Structure 1
Amino acid sequence: MKTPLLIGAACLLALLSTIGASLPYPILPPLFAAGASNGLNTFLGLPPKLLFGLALTINPLGLLIGSALLGPMSDRYGRRPVLLITAVGAAIGHAVTACALLMESYPLFIVARFATGLLEGSGSVARALLADRLSGDLRRKALSWLNGAFYMGWLAGPLLAGATLGFGLTTPFWVAVAALLLVAALVAATLPREAPSGATTSWWQVARDRHSLNLLREPDLRNLFIVTLAYTCGVTGFYEFYPLWLVEVPGYGAQGIAWITAAMCAVMTTTTIIAGRPFQGEPLLRARRFALITAAMITLLAAGDARLGIAAIVLFGIPHSFYNAIVPNWCAERFGAHGQGAVMGLISTTFCLANIIMALIGAVLTLIDTRLILLLGAALTAWSAWRMQAWHHSMSARAGAALP
């Protein structure tokens, strides 16, 4: 397979996959926080904000499991079959989600979102596809472009939701079904068939023994996990609760949330063009600087008025894009011997775990004030920047001690 076609296929795969994942972001806050009663926000008489937090948690829980398993399973069974199965399965999950919304069934909605998240954890497979076939500057650029494609999905998903809600609440999900089936067709048409692995282990043994969390036995990979978890807790706290902030502070509905999200993701996507270029200096120290700026943007959202908060949401995409252009490529180069699927799966798993942690904490803190979860996220992101510097000094000291 030619390199441009490989990169193009991976990027289009990422784009169409994240469209489905980002659809509910502008749809859910008005359903749970706008004041009108429905079967979703009155389930068991629980507070609507608590139900909203649980609804945010369940999809990342599926993503957590899927990201931990799908990357290593693609190392064993091949990228192509794993991507085919997950794309078709996620399409079915969105179809069931649409039915749950029509029925106003909160339990069915939760089950559908979990199953969809489980199968949408294939982002690590797309990253591994590029990481194990490319190298050097080309791999760094390709991974940056892949991040841009993921961002474009977050742009297209909310835009799609805002543009199609007028045709019915479930319309965006049916469009997502069509998009994911297109992903499956793209994978089948463009990715070459892979030679069967000579390993004799079953899928259950792969899932049990080769999941990404096994990498935590390595000290540096444990540090990577801690740093990435702290950073992504701040980022996911921002992602999950700025739509609620937009409902409560400037009083936006689904379409307003969609347009603000679109502006942020457009900035992210544009930034990736610059972020993928070569740079001088230590990757971790450079990533640390962008983590600090990201923390500042989240703080500005929590502490500012409506105008400053909206500006912070849009500008958040600049430092976050640079951070994401640095860390995955550095991990691919430094830890690739552990299996690119497993390493990229660890990064994706950490993101999903952060989603779950912040959604659960946010479900409680937002009962007091939505700004509290945003401030907590800013503090965690700033702490991750401090930890990156300490980790860098530790690795440099070990490298110096190893010299004769």
Structure 2
Amino acid sequence: MSSAPADKIETTSRGSLAVVFLTVFIDLLGFGIVLPLLPIYAAQFGVDEHGIELGLLMASFSAMQFLFAPLWGLLSDRIGRRPVIMIGLSGSVIFYAIFGIATEWQCIWLLFVARIGAGIAGATISTAQAYIADTTSLENRSKGMALIGMAFGLGFTFGPLLGFLAAPSGEGDPGPWPGYVAAILSAGALILAWFKLPESMPRDSAVRSSNTHRGLSLGSLRTALGTKSIRGLLIAFFVCVFSFANFETTLGMMIHGSRLPGSPFHFSFRAVCLTFAFIGATLAIVQGGIVRRLAGRVSEGTLAATGGIAQIIGFLLIAAAVNTGSTGVLFLALAIIVGGFAFVTPSLNSLLSRRSDPEKQGEILGLAQSVNSMARIVGSGLGIPLLMISMTLPAYVAAGLMAVGVVLVIAAARGGSDFETETPSEAAETETI
């Protein structure tokens, strides 16, 4: 193959990566505006004292991602990545607007509608990951996945800051504008994708996929789970994300402290937004400035295991911060937890894409997103009730689970090879499982 076409492909890939980065970033701005305030909104609407209804509300978003991520991934393998990303952005516009209406009316069931719809629309993140896989080489795959993580981090940095600015006052009801601003930003991402986002799959590849994939069959799931290295990675994914979801979904309520008698923290909702902005900035700095530099030099398994160990330390520091009432220890713990998470997710995504059939990457990454979402369903559903029992209990549970996750990550990383380098005997063994 001559160098000229390769250079052209590399240039095209860089431009495509820039556009998909901006698209994900703008869409995540909207998500970042809403997430920190969601538990506070729901608490103001009057939910049960055990936190079960609030846990279900937080879990509903992830439940829809669990159901729809593999469907979006499979559909993107058939019709292309661009149309699926466009559908997801359109849904975000609609359901964030409904979120604003729900908060204005203080209607809990409409808030459920908004979160369920946003979960369906947000499940297309696996398609964005498949887009990255389409436009990067195996050597640069982990760097590309870290780019998505950096977009998440920046979205979580500036999203809460915009939520801070969209709220009319520092106390009381945050009002409907965070939801409306999120809808406006998603509309901006939709416009950007419409004019600037090219299709990443060759036309013949899309046609070939459309002829071979007719649905999310049990056979396709068995094929993915029957590959030992992919199965191990998916289990590791579940445990790591489950432990993080305990922290993520309880943080807003924990630092706001309004429904937790004896809480040492009493942040205003604006302070909650600034805290999440700090989390997003940490995530962006670590993934954009450290993980991307280490990717390709250090193995994905080593990066993921290192991140998991850091999270264990951070979760234990969260419990110490609650026991001592120290805001300084709290923010140190947040930096360590989020920094560790920044190492884990892009590394596991990169390993998954490297070990997947290129023709089925959308499907496999969609399955991974469903596993991610299932972990968040369980983590969200249990995290808030655990918080109601004891403010330190979610942190201790998360630390214990992450210890298991580190072991699973190491085992999965050592137990497989890239799809292209799989030997015939390994392929035959996979088919017989």
Asked if these proteins are the same fold (TM beyond 0.5), I'd say yes
Alignment partner, residue 242 of structure 1: 251
Query: Given the superposition, is the C-alpha separation of residues 3 and 82 from structure 1 closer, same or farther in structure 2, using an over 3 Å criterion?
Result: same
For structure 2, the 5+ residue unaligned runs are 1-10, 258-263, 427-433
**Structure-1-length-normalised TM-score:** 0.88
Alignment of 1:87-106 (within 5 A): 87-106=89-108
CA contact (8 A) 2:29 2:158 kept: yes
* More displaced 10-residue stretch of structure 1: 229-238 or 140-149: 140-149
CA contact (8 A) 2:78 2:210 kept: no
Establish whether residue 303 from structure 1 lines up as the match of residue 320 from structure 2.
yes
Establish whether residue 190 from structure 1 lines up as the match of residue 196 from structure 2.
yes
The separation in 2 between residues aligned to 1:81 and 1:150, in whole angstroms, is 21
What is the deviation of 1:4?
2.4
The separation in 1 between residues aligned to 2:333 and 2:349, in whole angstroms, is 25
Aligned pair partner of 2:46 in 41, 60, 72 = 41
Alignment partner, residue 168 of structure 2: 166
Alignment partner, residue 334 of structure 1: 355
The separation in 2 between residues aligned to 1:261 and 1:213, in whole angstroms, is 39
Query: Cα RMSD between the aligned structures?
Result: 2.7
What is the deviation of 1:134?
1.5
Letter paired with 1:311:
L
Alignment partner, residue 380 of structure 2: 359
What is the deviation of 1:310?
2.3
The separation in 1 between residues aligned to 2:219 and 2:78, in whole angstroms, is 9
CA contact (8 A) 1:162 1:255 kept: yes
The separation in 2 between residues aligned to 1:280 and 1:181, in whole angstroms, is 38
CA contact (8 A) 1:234 1:295 kept: no
Establish whether residue 30 from structure 1 lines up as the match of residue 40 from structure 2.
yes
* More displaced 10-residue stretch of structure 1: 290-299 or 315-324: 315-324
CA contact (8 A) 1:233 1:354 kept: yes
What is the deviation of 1:274?
2.0
CA contact (8 A) 2:157 2:281 kept: yes
Alignment partner, residue 5 of structure 2: none
Q: CA deviation digits over 1:134-153, x for unaligned, max 9?
A: 10343332221221011111
Query: Given the superposition, is the C-alpha separation of residues 68 and 95 from structure 1 closer, same or farther in structure 2, using an over 3 Å criterion?
Result: same
For structure 1, the 5+ residue unaligned runs are none
Letter paired with 2:272:
I
Letter paired with 1:63:
Q
What SS class does the counterpart of residue 134 from structure 1 fall into? coil
What is the deviation of 1:390?
3.3
Establish whether residue 221 from structure 1 lines up as the match of residue 223 from structure 2.
no
Aligned pair partner of 1:390 in 407, 411, 416 = 411
CA contact (8 A) 1:294 1:316 kept: yes
CA contact (8 A) 2:230 2:352 kept: no
Alignment partner, residue 177 of structure 1: 183
Query: Given the superposition, is the C-alpha separation of residues 11 and 367 from structure 1 closer, same or farther in structure 2, using an over 3 Å criterion?
Result: same
Letter paired with 2:120:
L
Aligned pair partner of 1:276 in 269, 272, 292 = 292
What SS class does the counterpart of residue 389 from structure 2 fall into? coil
What is the deviation of 1:281?
5.0
The separation in 2 between residues aligned to 1:236 and 1:251, in whole angstroms, is 22
Alignment partner, residue 240 of structure 2: 231
CA contact (8 A) 1:68 1:212 kept: no
Query: Given the superposition, is the C-alpha separation of residues 155 and 212 from structure 1 closer, same or farther in structure 2, using an over 3 Å criterion?
Result: farther
The separation in 2 between residues aligned to 1:102 and 1:264, in whole angstroms, is 28
Letter paired with 1:274:
I
Alignment partner, residue 27 of structure 2: 17
Query: Given the superposition, is the C-alpha separation of residues 15 and 368 from structure 1 closer, same or farther in structure 2, using an over 3 Å criterion?
Result: same
Aligned pair partner of 2:310 in 293, 303, 307 = 293
Establish whether residue 371 from structure 1 lines up as the match of residue 392 from structure 2.
yes
What is the deviation of 1:250?
1.6
What is the deviation of 1:337?
3.8
The separation in 1 between residues aligned to 2:111 and 2:307, in whole angstroms, is 37
